[in-house]
């Protein structure tokens, strides 16, 4: 192992995530009953292996879209908005947020390629060219 400080930092970050997951399960168990908490925990264990094959960036994108859509929905509800169709509006809101995010990704990639097309500097982290 190269760097003990790096190992400790990663270990502690994983421990924080484990405590966070445990806290969520315990909170759900206390608030809604242990049957639902145990069901969700077991479902998490079942989908762990298939989800580990999903590319990390794709999963982050989908989670970001879901968090944004649900956040918009709940934030508007807290502000007093009454959605037409109640919860069914999420079936429109989630794809709309996803489409908007995809459009932004395409536009930002084009901009990045346009800005870096004439850049002759080596990218950050690239090995230095050898001069003989």
Cα-based distances in Å from 59 to 2, 24, 62, 91, 117: 29, 20, 5, 19, 29
| Model pLDDT for residues 73-121, shown as the tens digit of each residue | 999 999 999 988 888 999 999 999 999 999 999 999 999 888 888 766 6
Measured in residues, the chain has a length of 132
Residue with tokens 């990704």, as numbered in its chain:
105
Q: Quick one: DSSP state of residue 82?
A: -
This prediction's pTM: 0.60
What was the pLDDT predicted at 126? 66
């Amino acid at each position: 192992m190269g760097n003990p400080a790096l190992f400790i930092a990663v270990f502690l970050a994983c421990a924080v995530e484990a405590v966070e997951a445990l806290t969520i399960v315990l909170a759900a168990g206390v608030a809604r009953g242990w049957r639902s908490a145990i069901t969700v925990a077991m479902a998490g264990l079942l989908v762990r292996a298939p989800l580990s094959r999903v590319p990390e960036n794709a999963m982050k994108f989908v989670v970001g879209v879901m968090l944004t859509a649900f956040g918009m929905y709940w934030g508007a509800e807290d502000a007093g908005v009454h959605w037409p169709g109640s919860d069914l509006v999420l079936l429109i809101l989630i794809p709309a947020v996803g489409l908007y995010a995809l459009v932004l990704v395409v536009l930002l990639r084009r901009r990045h390629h346009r800005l870096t097309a004439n850049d002759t500097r080596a990218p950050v982290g690239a090995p230095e060219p050898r001069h003989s």
